[in-house]
Structure 1
Amino acid sequence: MTTNKYVLGVDIGGSHITAAVMDMESRLILEDSYTRCRIDAHGKPATIINNWKAAIDLAYGKAGLEIDKIGIAMPGPFDYENGISHIAGNDKYEAFYGLNVKEMLAGALGIEAGNILMKNDAACFLAGEMFAGAVKDYANVIGITLGTGLGSAVAAYGNTRDANLWCSSFQDGIAEDYLSTRWFLKRYYQLTGVNIIDVKSLTELYDESETIRTIFDEFSQHLAAFLMLFLQDTEADVIVLGGNISNAWPRFLPNVLKAFKANSIEVPLRISELNERAAIAGAASCWENLAVTS
């Protein structure tokens, strides 16, 4: 039998921690275990660790399981193998800089540090979609998350890594300037003089506003150009899109596909099936090839 049939996947965000137990055999999340708690990413290290512990305890308690194997999706920069944070200058978890976060959390939970595996959050999104989501049948994949920021990851022969392209040179700035919620809000204000709170609000007004349709057309041009640059350096068989903006895919994806066709690019695009749970599944999947069987 597989001794780590159940693994807890944890997604560490800037304002929340989400956690859920995953059945590694069925590749399904135990829905009753799903836990989401607010976190103050500006707090003291001990306070943050205790809050993470509380969420992890709660998720395991809901599943009726004892704390065992844990996979964590963590933003970078971070030494994932050793568990040491290098986060600085991005307004979250800066108090952890230089500290061994893995050992601190293991100590709080009363487990060995070896029971915790950590991986970049963008890479976990992609790993989750490959393990239990939209691209299960692929080994060479590009993963993009479109939201408050731009996440990018690449998988080669099933091994995922952060591509870290958010700050890559693009048009008159960096890629994230054109492929994030910030761009939508800025562009809408430039064209209308009106502030709007999120992309969902724009999507709801799409049919009645030519301005918003224009904005989505421009976004599709940015995304197509970015993806075509990415594909030049990556042998991907498929691209998967996630993040909150991907929920508006009917507004921009057709034009991206038209641009691909015009440039003779036949790589298919998929939309995330797991959404915010992709990183949880990907974090748990860190243990996929480490199952001990007997």
Structure 2
Amino acid sequence: MDIVTGVDIGGSHISSALVNLTKNKIVPDTLCRKLVDSKAPAEEVIEQWSQCIQTSQKKGNISHSRLGIAIPAPFDYEKGICLIKDQDKFDLLYNKNIKDLLAEQLKIDRNEIAMQNDASCFMLGEMIVGAGKGFHQALGVTLGTGLGSAFATGSLIEDANLWNTPFKDSIAEEYISNRWFLNSYFEQSGQKLPGVKELAQRSQTDHLAKGLFIEFGDSLGQFIEVAIKKIDREPQVIILGGNIAKSNHLFLDATHAHLNKCNINIPIKIAELGELSAIYGAAGLWKC
């Protein structure tokens, strides 16, 4: 069996699992998910990541495997150097070689670590075994702590790198991310919420919360319109992933309404694999 540890690193968590590349299946009972303080010192973050990876490997009764890691941009994925700064996450990892640090902590060779953009890994996983299966060209958008994007042509995944696209009076990520929701709700209500999940729970009785999801949906439609023009290729399907996508019933009608006005009739599908899509895709880096 060809077993790889697939790893998904986000702004507030890490998830890992062993993946059987021959069967395109996660090895049962090897999933580990751990909350991580992305503002902690680099050594502490690396240690927390390593603990989760080692937990998955112990659950699968192995002591060593190659790693496929999905991690947000900007990042030098080939060299393993973190270039993230001023994004309210990983500031103390800036300009550090994550491949070297992880290899040292896990006692493996740095060449046994493959890294790629989290949105690209999400798309690769969905194209292999998820919502993109059966489609040749797809645009993937991850909605969470940040805004990820990738374009798939078969199993070839390109980082669309649309997070900093000029949008309204700033960039796209300022309007299509967790922080837009939480900042907007705080500015208009004076209440701080821990996450979009809690905001979604309020939407049934809170008109402000409900309205913010509708506004977000319209912004997402505008972003998709801009994205298709920028990449200059029309996808057969748009796949939405990330934690915000779990609340799609609150905003997707507004997204479709904007796209209909623009005569964009591309189907939108919600990622089928949830947090596992990036894990499958990260492991799949060793197949490409």
Q: Is the 8 A contact 1:142 1:155 kept in 2?
A: yes
Match for 1:65 among 28, 46, 62?
A: 62
User: How many Å separate the matches in 2 of 1:52 and 1:197?
Assistant: 23
Q: Could you list the per-position Cα deviations for residues 120-144 of structure 1 after superposition, in whole angstroms to 9, with x for gaps in the alignment? A: 1222122222222211222322111
- Paired residues in the alignment total 286
Asked if 1:24 corresponds to 2:21, the answer is yes
The 1:87–1:26 alpha-carbon spacing in structure 2 relative to 1, beyond 3 Å, is same
The residue that corresponds to 1:224 in the other structure is 221
Cα shift at 1:100: 2.9
Q: Could you list the per-position Cα deviations for residues 148-172 of structure 1 after superposition, in whole angstroms to 9, with x for gaps in the alignment? A: 3222222234322332322221112
Q: Is the 8 A contact 1:140 1:158 kept in 2?
A: no
User: How many Å separate the matches in 2 of 1:210 and 1:94?
Assistant: 36
Asked if 1:6 corresponds to 2:3, the answer is yes
The residue that corresponds to 1:265 in the other structure is 264
User: How many Å separate the matches in 2 of 1:197 and 1:83?
Assistant: 31
Segments of structure 2 that go 5 or more residues without pairing to the other structure are: none
User: How many Å separate the matches in 2 of 1:211 and 1:99?
Assistant: 42
The residue that corresponds to 1:163 in the other structure is 160
Q: Which of the two has higher C-alpha Rg?
A: 1
My pick for the range that moved more, 42-51 or 105-114, is 42-51
Cα shift at 1:8: 0.7
Asked if 1:288 corresponds to 2:287, the answer is yes
Q: Is the 8 A contact 2:127 2:154 kept in 1?
A: no
User: How many Å separate the matches in 2 of 1:39 and 1:259?
Assistant: 36
Asked if 1:118 corresponds to 2:115, the answer is yes
Cα shift at 1:19: 0.9
TM-score by length of 2: 0.88
Asked if 1:109 corresponds to 2:67, the answer is no
The 1:90–1:170 alpha-carbon spacing in structure 2 relative to 1, beyond 3 Å, is closer
Segments of structure 1 that go 5 or more residues without pairing to the other structure are: 290-294
TM-score by length of 1: 0.86
User: How many Å separate the matches in 1 of 2:203 and 2:119?
Assistant: 29
Cα shift at 1:15: 3.5
Cα shift at 1:258: 3.0
Cα shift at 1:222: 0.9
Q: Could you list the per-position Cα deviations for residues 178-233 of structure 1 after superposition, in whole angstroms to 9, with x for gaps in the alignment? A: 21222223433455454444333332333434444333222221111110111123
